[in-house]
């Protein structure tokens, strides 16, 4: 064990004292904090020596000493699972890289608790322990931080089947992940299951499957993260009080995908820009890697397995979506209702497949109040398979073509559009918007490109429609 005061620490690790001080001050009591350098426990950063034992020894020593900082100095530290304990900060130097070994026996996971049938997280895996295998595991531990400027490198992303996650937190309170890079995770890069106070800030994720995936989380903050993922950039569900802000999301699947309910969700100041830097393995045999970005923001509780609950108090604002197939898709499934959704200041350009939609198909599911304010969407649909859609059904897991080019709304009590700008290039033959099973629609200050000879809006007599300043461009 090594015990050093802040003064000595600053002297020892001079060049980054500024950062170190920030985290150490946050953790340390009376101006001192215990530092455990993994190399003092036998770790060797040569990229060849396996360090699973050494790093975990340093963590155990830290825990035995009441918590502190486990310091990873410059080097390539090959390792299996690193199990973080309560009150431990894993601090990665700028030039420190933790590299996952290819030896699968070096990894461990956590034994997930039985699902609450009322709020199932729907991880349908045969063996949850091996499914939860991760490079850094936070298993029933609180007040854990991972920070510094270094990298956690999964070192392999299997094309089919999955390897280990990057960081997995299970039943954890107060988790902070900041300033690091997570790359090439064999499965998801950052996973939270049953977490509370979960903060991911200034993190860059490159490659790997999902970027940040959280199921059952309370008080989640994702800020200033840049996620370049093969699969969904941010996904999950059963979120309470979640803020996603100031992020750059690049994905070969979806930008933000909610597959279970959420309440008090605020998504702001994000750029969601396709196509994916890293491709997703869903293509043809010859070219399996597809880089198209599917939907910018897709909120679809129940899409991957039913999960009851509301999609309530959602505020999506100041978002830029560019060059993706679909901008916004909101879908409810069995057991889900939605209320108080506001989408404001959203600009989407280069949308090349499907209209935005707000859809409830399942019996008993309904969007009560939803409003779009200052929304601008410009479509560039070139494929006639999309502009000549006649029949469509309930969406499955991804958005699909509908017989409207701008918006499709179904199963909604009240919907408002205020300051909406809709345009397209190319040949279009469909109405701008379609409404099925909608109670009332307010369209105010609407500017849209006209499709000659085609009725602009389609709705039944049961829908009360009010138009104010409704003009074609």
Partner 1 sequence: MFILLVLSNCAVLAQSDRPVTVKVVNINDYGAIGDGKTLNTDAINKAIIACDNAGGGTVVVPAGNFVTGTIMLKSNITLDLDPDSHIIGTTDLSQYKGYQLRREDPNEPINITVSDSAVWTRALILLDKVHDVTITGTGTIDGAGVTDIRGEEGHRGPHGIFIAESKNITISGIRVSRAGNYNIIGLYVENIKLSGITITQGSDGIHIRKGKNIAIDNCKFYTGDDAIAGGYWENAVISNCLINSSCNGIRLILPATHLEIKNCEIFGPGVFGHPRGNAINPLVTRTLTGILLQPGAWGLGGGKLADVYIHGVHLRDMQTALTFILNKGNQGQNIRVEDVVATGITNNACSVESWPDESSFENVKFKNISIAYTIKNADILKTKNFSRIGTESRPLPYWGFYIRHVKSVEFENVRLDYSGIEDRSVMGFDQVGSVHLKNVRYKAVGGIQPFKYKGKTKVTIENPGTFN
Stretch of 101-109, 221-229, 334-342, 432-440 lying at the interface with partner 1 (CB under 8 A): 221-229
Does 275 sit near partner 1 (CB under 8 A)? Answer: yes
Reference 411, options 365, 376, 379; nearest CA is 365
Which lies closer to partner 1 via its Cβ, residue 275 or residue 403?
A: 275
CB of 206 to partner 1, least distance (A): 5
Is 430 a binder of partner 1 (CB under 8 A)? no
Tokens of 445: 């200050």
Note whether 53 binds partner 1 by CB under 8 A: no
Q: How far is the CB of 210 from partner 1 (least distance, A)?
A: 15
Strand, helix or coil at 331?
A: strand
Which residues are CB-neighbours of 349 under 8 A, at least 6 positions away? 321, 322, 323, 377, 378
Q: How far is the CB of 124 from partner 1 (least distance, A)?
A: 18
From the list 148, 160, 21, the residue with the least C-alpha distance to 72 is: 148
Q: Which is nearer to partner 1, 74 or 364 (CB)?
A: 74
Span interacting with partner 1, options 163-171, 237-245, 392-400, 462-470, rule CB under 8 A: 392-400
Contact between 206 and partner 1 by CB under 8 A: the answer reads: yes
* 3-state DSSP assignment of residue 377: strand
CB of 197 to partner 1, least distance (A): 23
φ, ψ of residue 385 in degrees (nearest 5) = -60, -25
> Rounded CA gap, 214 and 201, in Å?
15
**3, 42, 64, 74: residue in contact with partner 1 (rule CB under 8 A):** 74
Q: Identify the CA nearest to 392 among candidates 464, 328, 331.
A: 331
Match 């830290």 to its residue by tokens: 62
Q: Which is nearer to partner 1, 67 or 73 (CB)?
A: 73
One DSSP character per residue, 440-470 reads: EEEEEEEEE---TTS-SEE--TTSEEEEEEE
Q: Distance between CA 400 and CA 384 in Å, rounded?
A: 14
The answer to whether 399 touches 326, Cβ cutoff 8 Å, is: yes
Give me the sign of the Cα torsion angle 188, 299, 266, 469: positive
Query: What is the per-residue binding string for partner 1 in 234-263, x denoting contact by CB under 8 A?
Result: --------------x---------------
Examine residue 15 and tell whether it contacts partner 1 (CB under 8 A).
yes
- Is residue 178 close enough to count as binding partner 1 by CB under 8 A? no
Q: Of the candidates 30, 105, 287, 460, which one interacts with partner 1 according to CB under 8 A?
A: 287
Q: Cβ closer to partner 1: 404 or 417? A: 404
The SS3 assignment for 378 reads strand
How many binding residues for partner 1 (CB under 8 A)?
Answer: 49
Nearer CB in complex with partner 1: 39/224: 224
- Per the document, the length of the chain is 473
Binding residues for partner 1, rule: CB under 8 A, are 14-19, 45, 47, 74-76, 95, 97, 149, 181, 202, 204, 206, 224, 226, 228, 248, 271, 273, 275, 277, 282-284, 286-287, 290-292, 294, 322-323, 325, 350, 353, 382-386, 397-398, 400-401
């Amino acid at each position: 064990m090594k015990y050093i005061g802040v003064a000595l620490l600053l002297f020892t690790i001079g060049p980054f004292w500024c950062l170190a001080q920030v985290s150490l001050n946050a953790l340390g009591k009376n101006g001192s904090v215990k530092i455990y350098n993994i190399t003092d426990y036998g770790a060797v950063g040569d990229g060849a020596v396996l360090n699973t034992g050494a790093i975990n020894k340093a963590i155990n020593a830290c825990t035995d000493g009441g918590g502190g900082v486990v310091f990873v100095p410059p080097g390539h530290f090959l390792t299996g699972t690193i199990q973080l304990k309560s009150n431990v900060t894993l601090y990665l130097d700028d030039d420190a890289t933790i590299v996952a070994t290819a030896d699968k026996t070096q990894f461990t996971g956590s034994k997930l608790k039985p699902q609450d049938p009322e709020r199932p997280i729907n991880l349908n895996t045969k063996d949850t322990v091996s499914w939860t295998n991760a490079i850094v595991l936070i298993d029933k531990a609180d007040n854990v931080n991972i920070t510094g400027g270094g990298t956690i490198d999964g070192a392999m992303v299997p094309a089919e089947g999955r390897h280990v996650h990057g960081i997995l937190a299970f039943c954890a309170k107060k988790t902070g992940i900041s300033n690091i890079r997570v790359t090439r995770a064999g499965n998801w890069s950052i996973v939270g299951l049953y977490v509370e106070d979960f903060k991911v800030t200034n993190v860059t994720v490159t490659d790997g499957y999902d970027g940040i995936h959280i199921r059952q989380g309370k008080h989640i903050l994702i800020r200033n993260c840049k996620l370049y993922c093969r699969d969904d950039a941010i996904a999950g569900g059963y979120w309470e009080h979640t803020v996603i802000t100031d992020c750059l999301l690049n994905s070969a699947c979806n930008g933000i995908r909610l597959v279970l309910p959420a309440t008090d969700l605020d998504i702001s100041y994000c750029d969601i820009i396709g196509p994916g830097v890293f491709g997703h393995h869903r293509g043809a045999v010859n070219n399996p890697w597809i880089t198209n970005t599917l939907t910018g923001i897709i909120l679809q509780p129940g899409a991957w397995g039913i999960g009851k609950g509301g999609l309530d108090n959602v505020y999506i604002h100041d978002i830029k979506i560019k060059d993706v197939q679909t901008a916004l898709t909101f879908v409810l499934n069995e057991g889900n209702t939605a209320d108080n959704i506001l989408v404001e200041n959203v600009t989407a350009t280069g949308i090349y497949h499907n209209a935005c939609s707000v859809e409830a198909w399942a019996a008993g599911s309904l969007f009560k109040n939803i409003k779009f304010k200052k929304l601008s969407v410009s479509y560039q649909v070139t494929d006639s398979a999309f502009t000549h859609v006649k029949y469509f059904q309930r969406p499955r897991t991804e958005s699909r073509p509908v017989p409207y080019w701008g918006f499709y709304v179904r199963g909604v009590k009240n919907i408002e559009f205020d300051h909406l700008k809709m345009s397209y290039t190319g040949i279009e033959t469909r109405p701008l918007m379609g409404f099925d099973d909608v109670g009332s629609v307010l369209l105010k200050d609407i500017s849209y490109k006209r499709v000659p000879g085609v009725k602009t809006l389609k709705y039944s007599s049961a829908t009360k429609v009010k138009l104010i300043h409704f003009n074609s461009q």
